[in-house]
Amino acid sequence: GPWRVAGGTITDTPRYAHRGAMLDVSRHFFTVAQVKRYIDELAMYKVNRLHLHLSDDQGWRIALKSWPRLATYGGSTQVGGGPGGYYTKDDYRAIVRYAADRYLTVVPEIDMPGHTNAALASYAELNCNGQAPPLYTGTSVGFSSLCVPKKVTYDFIDDVIREIAALTPGRYLHIGGDEAHSTSHDDYVAFMDKVQPVVAKYGKTVIGWHQLTGAHPAKGAVAQYWGYDKTGAAERAQVADAARNGTRLILSPADRAYLDMKYDKNTPLGLSWAGYVDVRRSYDWDPGSYLQGAPADSVLGVEAPLWTETLKTSANLEYMAFPRLPGIAELGWSPAGTHDWGTYRERLAAQGPRWDALGIDYYHSPEVPWPAR
């Protein structure tokens, strides 16, 4: 240089307000440093929400003063029986600050009433029979449930939401709600009717997985859709009906946006219950028209979840997130009319040398014309 360019104005605004990525720190625990590394990678692609999945059957990952054994006991293991771990309040604040400095807002999730074995193991009184189950290190789902009729359940939830809301400057708090197979439908509805006002009491807006639409979503609530192309018509219609009645949607279709799905049958990491998700499939869909019957303006945005049943290291996370994550980020930012796989794959290929320089262990998809190394 110096180089001269003509003066001008760049006008660029995102298609969607919510451009998110979820990191599951419950199945396998990831340290503050590892979470910060992932935040840096998300920020490169203008992702603006970090959804932290902080509790599940295998581990509770945030220390709370009111119920200390959640972390010290409930956080003491993970899938496969490793040491687990948890974030202190200062750790969590550090993650929130680090994310905010990079224009990401943290959305904490405490999954309920299912996916709760770590909590049930920590406090016997949360179980209907008063007996704490053992800690769990497997990967099956749907077997656990908070005791819906017990008053102590709602004392517990009030304390948890109060403490986490106080630590979280963002407007949203995620209450899970998926795969509650051990909770009857009537109990599920009653539970959600009691819990959603608690979130509002502490100044937050509810996000729940799309099963929330089978109950009574609170005014202003957001449903996160994780079904897929083959999801039954009745379930999809239920979500679309809620959207027509004012519930906003975050779209995370499992066979498009789940970053833990295998790329193909040879992928050494990840799962395949929603099918194989190659790079083109993760990019080549339109959030605005994806869910038939849902108004286009009901879509708050998109999110790419990364579940960690099989992922233990930052390199594992990166291998599954890249190169699919930038495609979800582009769906969230760019107008639908600009989406074109042919030109996108060329632009994506140009990111390869950048990732090489950053030490990102990405999957060299044969669908992408990567530069010679």
**In the prediction, which pLDDT does 259 show?**
98
If you write DSSP's letter for every residue of 180-228 in order, what string do you get? -TTS-HHHHHHHHHHHHHHHHHTT-EEEEEGGGGGS-PPTT-EEEE---
Catalytic choice (41, 109, 125, 179): 179
What is the per-residue pLDDT across 53-77, written as a single tens digit (0 to 9) for each? 999 999 999 999 999 999 999 999 9
In a domain, residue 3? The reply is no
What is the per-residue pLDDT across 228-266, written as a single tens digit (0 to 9) for each? 988 999 999 999 999 999 999 999 999 999 999 999 999
If you write DSSP's letter for every residue of 293-350 in order, what string do you get? TS-GGGEEEEEEEE--SS--SHHHHHHHHTTTHHHHHHHHHS-GGG--HHHHHHHHHT
Task: Say which amino acid occupies 164.
Answer: I
**In the prediction, which pLDDT does 1 show?**
86
Q: Which of 239, 237, 201 is nearest to 217 (CA)?
A: 239
In a domain, residue 177? The reply is yes
Residue 205's CATH number? 3.20.20.80
| Domain extent for 283 | 18-340
In a domain, residue 366? The reply is no
CA dist., res. 28 & res. 317, Å (int): 11
In a domain, residue 312? The reply is yes
Give every CB contact of residue 282 below 8 A, 6+ residues apart in sequence: 256, 257, 259, 324, 327, 328
CA dist., res. 357 & res. 337, Å (int): 32
CA dist., res. 244 & res. 106, Å (int): 27
In a domain, residue 345? The reply is no
Band the pLDDT of 5: cuts 50, 70, 90.
confident
Q: Which residues pair with 49 in a beta bridge?
A: 20, 105
| Domain count within the chain | 1
Confirm if 250 and 228 have CB atoms less than 8 A apart: no
Averaged confidence pLDDT in the chain: 97
Structure tokens at 265: 């049958």
Average pLDDT over residues 7-19: 95
Confirm if 53 and 25 have CB atoms less than 8 A apart: yes
In a domain, residue 292? The reply is yes
Structure tokens at 26: 């419950």
Q: Is 346 a catalytic residue?
A: no
pTM: 0.97
Tell me: pLDDT of 145 over 90.
yes
Band the pLDDT of 373: cuts 50, 70, 90.
confident
Helices marked H in the chain: 32-43, 69-72, 89-101, 117-122, 151-167, 185-201, 233-244, 254-257, 279-283, 314-321, 325-333, 341-349, 352-358
Q: Which of 114, 120, 122, 123 is nearest to 141 (CA)?
A: 114
**In the prediction, which pLDDT does 290 show?**
96
In a domain, residue 88? The reply is yes
Average pLDDT over residues 340-368: 98
Is omega for the bond preceding 14 within 30 degrees of 0, making it cis? no
- Rounded to the nearest 10 degrees, how much is the dihedral formed by the CA atoms of 246, 250, 255, 256? 120
What is the per-residue pLDDT across 277-325, written as a single tens digit (0 to 9) for each? 999 999 999 999 999 999 999 999 999 999 999 999 999 999 999 999 9
